[in-house]
Structure 1
Amino acid sequence: MADLKMNVSCFFFIQVLLLLFLSSFAPTNAQGLKVGFYDKTCSKAEAIVKKSVSDAMKNDPTIGAPLLRMFFHDCFVRGCEGSVLLELNNKKDEKNAAPNLSLRGFEVIDNVKAAVEKECPGVVSCSDVLALVARDAVVALDGPSWGVETGRRDGRVTNINEARSNLPSPLNNITSLISQFDSKGLDKKDLAVLSGGHTVGQGHCPLILNRLYNFTGKGDSDPDLDTEYAATLRKRCKPTDTTTALEMDPGSFKTFDESYFKLVSQRRGFFQSDAALLNNQETKSYVLKQTKSYGSSFSKDFGVSMVKMGRIGVLTGKAGEVRKKCRMVN
């Protein structure tokens, strides 16, 4: 009996050791991140970023949404390590992938980084600048604030093909969206919450022409799109339009609020990926909850999901580098 007890004890001890051993190889993306990472090494960093974003948005009130979008596009490719900012002479960088050609605000990131570098040379990473800028842009749009975890370091690789294959498309259905978010450690609620970022900013006609004119190849429109809204969009987006930009949240596209979810619930989501949220019970329930003034949790949820997204594939410790300029490796 004593031998049996000893064997059982040894078995559980070995199991614990095995779990600890395996966990040391698990993708603990958030390890090394914390709110206030630069409190001692660059105490003015976050204040400098905030002021720089405020100045940028005074000059261009529409730049807030693109700055938020840039952080999303960075995190979904190689993780939140600033690869979307890098430029290669051969144009094979992420910036030149089709989903990123409409990104803008890179000069704002350059200016923020330069201001931080002047105060604390070689301390604050470009990837942390992106994370802080995204938060401050949302706040400037009357949206919520959250504690941004910092401590990321910058990657040295950028690849156009990785951007093509990793960035969710506005044409995706709900199955594809859930799968892509799941591959980054984000769940269905995160999908619905982060899609709410479309409450600010603009979308371009080329991405919805199929919804308006030839959805199934028979010259029809998307049946998931409200007919009156489709007619309104057709007046603005002609079949050959490749440039026109429209508000994704008409009448409220400069204010970060819950109105996006009301539009989606009315089948007036701008992209197919917006409409797709109604095709899954969990994402649909979240959308409908946010349309009730007494039940909306969007502001709080957005900060939580942004922190979660900000942990994807980060480089910390001695990995990567702290770039001096965000467009090039040191």
Structure 2
Amino acid sequence: MTDTTVSPGRKSKFLNLEMLLILIGVAALILAPFHFYPVFLMKVLCFGLFACAFNLLLGYTGILSFGHAAFFGGAAYFTAHSVKEWGFPPELGILLGVFGATILGLIIGFFAIRRQGIYSTMITLALSQMFFFFCLQASFTKGEDGIQGVPRGKLLGFIDLNDPLNMYFFVLAVFLIGVFIIWRIINSPFGMILKSVRENENRAISLGYSVARYKLAAFVMSAALTGLAGGLKAIVFQFATLTDVSWQMSGEVVLMTLLGGIGTLVGPIVGAGFITALENYLATSEFPVTVITGIIFMVCVLVFRRGIIGELYASRFGKKLESSSGH
């Protein structure tokens, strides 16, 4: 696979630019529910966190997974079932979803990291499809009907999440916490080792690092954060279905990440927002959404391989913003 990431040196140069974009984005998200449909915004936030978690594995570790739908959809099922059938409060249901996704990530990652390249990717796809068929047959998932009518409940026992604004700001808080965790991971010594593994795995091994352990740790962290997005999505939309665990969902998050910019913190969020808005706009039209997304994917790969944010960083405009922000 062609490396489309931004080099580590360039990333450090554009740190101020990325922080500027983050601050502008946070301010916009706080004001957004007063001007846009909150449910649509919550969907963008859920998939934005999903894409960021996936980017932790692909953009910073160099592992391409086609099985992340298992973590996203699995967490959605675990959360939905525990909240609806067991009466768990929403925050505990989401934590259970994260725990379930973490276990799945440990199992799938254990097998996937033992191979490299396309073989590793195919293992993630195969195990994800096995989980899909498990969800199709298992009694607690309700088969093709899925788990519907999941109550949002009350956060901490007193904040009514049936109120759209309460639900939105809860989702926004979880989204920001998730993105902050990812930022801390990639800017820690652990994150530096992950980047070295991505750039030159053999050299990392020669330096004495246990590459397999670091890969597995990154895989599990990515799965857990993906589960956070999946559990949150189940509470927002009050259902979990087979669509959440299908291979198309795994392909969609790859597209979001590529479109926004692999190896950037903001890029996957932008890509998720673009694809979600496009699907929402085309939902009422007769034009097939898959055709449009396929065309976007080809254009992204052929024309701007760094993604939207990656190209912004590399452009003259990005360099001017970077220099004006303190360098």
Is TM-score (shorter-chain normalized) higher than 0.5?
no
Higher RCO (CA-CA < 8 Å; seq separation 6+): 2
For normalisation by structure 2, the TM-score amounts to 0.23
Larger helix proportion of the pair: 2
For normalisation by structure 1, the TM-score amounts to 0.23
Rg larger for: 1
